[in-house]
Amino acid sequence: MANAMKLLFMPGDGIGPEVMTEVRRVTDWFARARGLDLEIDEGLIGGSSYEAHGTPLTEDTLAQAMEADAVLLGAVGGPKWDNLDFSLKPERSLLRLRKDMELFANLRPAVVFEALAEASTLKTDLVAELDILIVRELTGGVYFGCPRGIDDIGGGNRRGINTHVYTTPEIHRVSRVAFEIARQRSGRVCSVEKSNVMESGLLWREEVQALHDAEYTDIELSHMYADNCAMQLVRNPKQFDVIVTDNLFGDMLSDEAAMLTGSLGMLPSASLGAVDADGSRKALYEPVHGSAPDIAGKGLANPLASILSFAMLLRYSFELAVEADLVERAVANVLAKNLRTADILQPGTTQISTGEMGTALVYELEALAA
Ligand code: NAD
């Protein structure tokens, strides 16, 4: 790679710094063993930023994030900051970051590692080797549409209003992400909406189809109503590869799909912005879990969600598929050796600490690269 990969790491609060320490061991390994030219800066976010600067995200740190090739975040929040004014709460920093970076596509993989298939609430054969990806539109739809609000309609009654609205460009840009990613996978996309009862859903279906017919005829596109998709995800999840859907349905379906895999400590995510004129795109990678204050500082946190988020960073920000595969295979191998943090412990497996999981992972990377 010609230029250094400029990364900003934001460990945040609670278990964030612990799990990010283990990611650092993986990045150190890649720099040492594979010659990756990584230029890693660190920034404060959330409660840790509030303690140092009186705000959960400084303008300087935001500027750093805007300039980085990719941002990797741990987690923010904790009881210490729960009573702060709304504008100062740690969680606000994340919303600001996502908004200013204009991250409109949220990628949530639901992958079941063979060794963890039994941890799913579904039958093992239904989820074994599951590997699906939900692409959720993140900045539009009913969570942001106007008009919105609560009106007084007289007689002691009120009316709550939200507007589910999408435009052609909003639908095209997130569908494009799904189609492009599907090209690197099995080449199948399922677009999910409620076109039977919602005009915005009908537009969604028509526009996804139009983009497909114009530019992505090599991709197998299907359409499904969101309620049916919710059922199909628990009936036969392996029928899917890439699912693309709006903000509201994506919120629910991605959580549903995530739970097929068993544990919060295993779930990575990515949020992508538009491709700039120079071909780069803003991107934020983070585990799905929060700061887990109940286990912070005890060596109990599972660092694999963060390490898998780093694998997504390699894949989606730098097109380093071989390196990303290496990380994912190392995770599979550690699990296959029955080494587990407390959250994924099963009978017959050995409990190890956060740091020991990092050590085991680097050991597997060494073995795979040998
Ligand atoms: P949480 O995800 O932090 O924890 C939920 C449960 O899962 C806890 O029992 C926790 O111990 C466990 N858990 C989570 N991650 C784990 C890991 N890597 N390894 C092992 N166990 C893990 O959610 P919560 O308890 O609802 O929220 C705690 C704090 O995190 C709150 O302040 C919340 O606002 C914040 N939060 C932040 C983010 C984020 O930074 N993206 C997301 C969700 C919640």
pLDDT per position as a tens digit, 20-45: 999 999 999 999 999 999 999 999 99
pLDDT class for 120, splitting at 50, 70, 90? confident
pLDDT per position as a tens digit, 63-102: 999 999 999 999 999 999 999 998 899 999 998 998 899 9
- Index of the ligand 1 atom closest to the CA of residue 306: 18
Pairing of strands 339-340, 350-351: parallel
- Index of the ligand 1 atom closest to the CA of residue 289: 2
Check if 289 has its Cβ closer than 6 Å to any atom of ligand 1: yes
Which of 159-173, 185-199, 260-274 is predicted least confidently? 260-274
pLDDT class for 259, splitting at 50, 70, 90? confident
d(CA 170, CA 314): 26
pLDDT at 262 over 80: no
- Of residues 258 and 240, the one with the higher pLDDT is 240
Angle between helices 321-336 and 16-34 in degrees, nearest 10: 120
Check if 77 has its Cβ closer than 6 Å to any atom of ligand 1: yes
Look at residue 281 and give its three-state secondary structure. strand
pLDDT at 219 over 60: yes
171 sits in which H/E element:
helix 168-184
In this prediction, residue 101 carries a pLDDT of 94
In this prediction, residue 2 carries a pLDDT of 57
CA 167 to ligand 1 center in whole angstroms: 34
CA 20 to ligand 1 center in whole angstroms: 15
Give the mean pLDDT of 250-264.
89
CA 298 to ligand 1 center in whole angstroms: 14
- Index of the ligand 1 atom closest to the CA of residue 15: 18
d(CA 280, CA 268): 21
Give the mean pLDDT of 139-167.
96
Q: For the whole model, what pTM was predicted?
A: 0.95
Look at residue 113 and give its three-state secondary structure. coil
CA 76 to ligand 1 center in whole angstroms: 9
In this prediction, residue 278 carries a pLDDT of 85
d(CA 265, CA 288): 8
Residues catalogued as catalytic: 143, 194, 227, 251, 255
Other beta carbons within 10 angstroms of residue 278's beta carbon come to 6
pLDDT at 1 over 70: no
Phi, psi for residue 152 in degrees, rounded to 5: -90, 120
In this prediction, residue 370 carries a pLDDT of 86
Q: Are 284 and 101 contacting, i.e. CB atoms less than 8 angstroms apart?
A: yes
Ligand 1, atom 34, lies closest to the CA of 77
d(CA 195, CA 206): 9
Phi, psi for residue 280 in degrees, rounded to 5: -90, 165
pLDDT per position as a tens digit, 133-145: 999 999 999 999 9
pLDDT class for 248, splitting at 50, 70, 90? very high
In this prediction, residue 282 carries a pLDDT of 96
